[in-house]
Structure 1
């Protein structure tokens, strides 16, 4: 596992495994992202899965695979084509999910979910 990574320009990578990942620029990942903390204020496209305990999206995050996280905060745009498996998600931006299984979801009007499994869902 690498230490902290900060992406400020345009980067294409096969996969990422690091402690803290901050993306201010544009990032395209062909496989998976695994990070202890993920902070996105730029644009990220992932063809695989994203695994991180803490994710903050004020920019744009598009995932073709599965999103696994404990806490997700979205004030920008999040799209997950496969599944989102999270403990808690707070949404004030726009979210487009095919399927989500979550303990808690707090959302706004910009929410599009095809299938929802949640103990607590509040809009």
Structure 2
């Protein structure tokens, strides 16, 4: 199962980087979202996908689930939501001010 999750995280990273290198602002925002989702899956996979009891000390339970990767992912989700909302507002404002969402035209170079 870890191999499948690593492959899926790699695909998300690859498509995220591909979208970051595009010229449209919305694709750049989507690329940052895909990279953050790939990071979430990667953190979850590195925390070992094991089953166990909740991390509450009870007599008779030998195997506990590690709560640290889940806490890190929850924090990362909140941060990526804030970054994505900021980038969406920034892209909307830039497109409204400049009349385009093309990065080449926003730089002032001629687009052919």
With structure 2 as the length reference, what TM-score do the two structures score? 0.23
Higher relative contact order (CA 8 A, sep 6+): 2
Greater C-alpha Rg = 2
Higher strand share: 1
With structure 1 as the length reference, what TM-score do the two structures score? 0.22
Higher helix share: 2
